Amino acid sequence: MSVVKSALSDADRKVVGDALQGALVDLVDLSLVAKQVHWNVVGPRFRSVHLQLDEVVDTARQHSDTVAERASAVGINPDGRSRTLAKTTAIDVVPDGWIKDVDAVRVLVDALRVVIDRMRERIEVTDEPDPISQDILITLTADLEKHAWMFQAESA
């Protein structure tokens, strides 16, 4: 039962809700992955990678809040609990221990690619049912693609 009444039909709300919930999981997990790598990165490019990782964390956290609030606005209960993340994330596990700067970049680029691919799928499915949610997904995907580009440029 939703306490929030939405202008979306039940069918559209389901599609949009699934897209927003998936985006929320991806963003929260991306922020955790980036922070884990941030704490453990070592190497000659430590400082630049360390700082870039915090930028990814900030972006993911900002957009996760926007996505969760949009879900609430359309009558979907956002779920960012750790158990939900563990069951539904598609991002690979971060290696244990210290992570060389070149490996840190690879881990982040791989995580960003997974999330970006999933966001692009969500952009497609929200086109008809809710262009407002689609716009949020487009904006956040553009930011994630910018981070992916910058990390790749770091390792070129």
- Full-model pTM: 0.95
**Overall CATH class of domain 10-154:** mainly alpha
pLDDT tens digits, one per residue of 106-145: 999 999 999 999 999 999 999 999 999 999 999 999 999 9
Q: What is the mean pLDDT of the chain?
A: 95
Q: What is the pLDDT of residues 10-47, one digit of tens each?
A: 999 999 999 999 999 999 999 999 999 999 999 999 99
What DSSP string runs through 66-109? HHHHHHHHTT------HHHHHHH--SPPPPSS-EEHHHHHHHHH
Euclidean distance between the first and final Cα of the chain, in Å?
Answer: 51
